Amino acid sequence: MPQQGPNHRSSPLKCPVSLEDVDLFSPGAQEHWYEAYPILHAEAPVLRIPGEGPTPGSDGYILSKYEDIAMVVRDPVRFPSGLTTALQRMAASEIPPEQQPHTNAMMLSMFTLRPTDELYRSHRQELTDPWVGPGATRHTDMIRDHADALIDRWIDGDQVEFIGEFARPLPQRVMATVLGFPLKDIPQLARWGEAQVRGFVHGRGHRNELTEEQLDEQFRELDGFKEYVEDIIQEKRQRPGDDMISWLCDVEYEALGRKLTDLEINGIVYAMIIGGLETTQYAIEEQAQLLCEHPGLFQALKADRSKIRGFCEEALRLRSPTQGLSSRTTTRDEVFHGVQVPAGSLLHLRWAAGNVDPDEWDCPYDLDIERKAVTRHLAFSQGPRVCPGAGISRQEQLIAWNCLLDRLDDIEYAPGNTFEHQPGIMLGTLELHLKFSRAG
């Protein structure tokens, strides 16, 4: 059965016991997500959200079954991504893309570098995979050095606020190093990172919508980021280093037979920051919680490091950082689990619910680090749009736990945890106090 989190009563919402109580999006919904999923699976695997579609009069639908979500993400023609439709709108407009309101460098770079599914694939293979994709093993030592340096800062005590002292700064340092940003700029980069993901945290409803005023403010703040990246690009063009931005300044994008413009590089950097920070933070932080909740597991991993990979994947399945995204639309009338979904509807893909679907997973709420083929989980999505940063995130998790297992003998919850989750669509607590014993 789903685990009842220690903070279960802190939500203003009632813990759902029937379908009419299920609310995945109102403030406090985070505390009951894992009680809502079995209800959705049993009673409404396809749940209509009336009036919440992409156009007036259309609806949104929450998909919670593994089979449905996996099918949708594997067919980008039948179920195009919201970004694809946004790019089509951009192309159809009489206003030039760069003058369209609330258009950031990422969207502009997508417009020129990957407007089609084919170019989307080339973009990933040629431009991001070498740095953040599955084969990007060049970062192993760098990640280990950052993990060890962070542990050095608190290893002489017996207690740590694990998010502020490890789970958050590790991906910040790793992504800054990969991109070629000076580490001293991390505090400012973190503020821009927060501005980028503001919709996912403070946005309204399943579409994570910000108000016009909030959007204006967000774009004003992120102008600073764009200028900062412009300056770094100039610097890297003069004095290249061994980093992704320097490489992007020079690489020939074979799919288009040309080099990249500064604006395009700026857009790729934007995508790396928006995707690369908090997601991995939450993964590592939830893994720490699972270790506290499963006595003996820390020692089992310490004794057999080959089990860390299965543990990390199983944690991603069981506590998916990105719980769901309203990111696909239907191009024709569909039927999912007997429910008619008309063309032009918006699909909210609930990755986290698919990851505990009892029709796909035996004992779905158990942490089973030996689970067969666990990497088929949906935490990073699947198919042609699968998360481009899954490779580096997996490496960060693996190396983080190897270093922590080297340096510590055990961890447990320290007193004072509220386990309060941050608002929005991501699963992550705001802070996490751990007691630890240092390895002898």
Written in H, E and C, the secondary structure of 350-389 is: CHHHHCCCCCCCCCCCCCCCCCCCHHHCCCCCCHHHCCCC
Contact 369, 303 (CB under 8 A): no
Binding to ligand HEM in span 306-365, by CB under 6 A: 321-322, 325, 327, 351
For ligand HEM, which stretch binds (CB under 6 A), given 27-35, 56-64, 191-199, 375-383?
375-383
Asked if 266 touches ligand HEM (CB under 6 A), the answer is: no
Residue 272 touches ligand HEM, criterion: CB under 6 A: yes
Coil/strand/helix, residue 253: strand
Distance CA 308, CA 194 (A): 30
- Does 392 bind ligand HEM (CB under 6 A)? Our answer is yes
Nearest to ligand HEM of 11, 398 (CB atom): 398
Tell me how far the alpha carbon of residue 280 is from its chain's centroid: 7
Q: Is the dihedral of CA 416, 422, 423, 428 positive or negative?
A: negative
User: Is the Cβ–Cβ distance between 284 and 397 less than 8 Å?
Assistant: yes
11 or 81: CB nearest ligand HEM: 81
Least gap, CB of 217 to ligand HEM (angstroms):
23
How far apart are the two ends of the chain, measured CA to CA in Å?
Answer: 37
287 binds ligand HEM (CB under 6 A): no
Sheet holding 46-49, edge to edge: 46-49, 60-63, 346-349, 325-329
Determine if 269 is a binding residue for ligand HEM (CB under 6 A). Answer: no
- In the bound state with ligand HEM, the residue whose beta carbon lies nearer, of 325 and 436, is 325
Residue choice 283, 315, 356, 425 for contact with ligand HEM (CB under 6 A): 283
Q: Does 271 bind ligand HEM (CB under 6 A)?
A: yes
Minimum CB separation of residue 158 from ligand HEM in Å reads 29
Residue reference for tokens 């941050």: 422
The interface mask with ligand HEM, positions 58-97, x = CB under 6 A, is: ---------------x-------x----------------
CB of 348 to ligand HEM, least distance (A): 12
109 is a site residue for ligand HEM (CB under 6 A) = no
Q: Whose CA is closest to 367, among 278, 296, 305?
A: 296
Residue 193 near ligand HEM by CB under 6 A: no
In the structure, how many helices (H) and strands (E) does the chain have? 19, 11
3-state SS, residue 98: helix
Q: Tell which one of 132, 147, 318, 403 touches ligand HEM (CB under 6 A).
A: 132
Give whichever of 64 and 381 is closer to ligand HEM, judged by the CB atom.
381
Q: Where do we find the tokens 């749009």?
A: 385
CB closer to ligand HEM out of 72 and 408:
72
Q: Is 53 in the site for ligand HEM (CB under 6 A)?
A: no
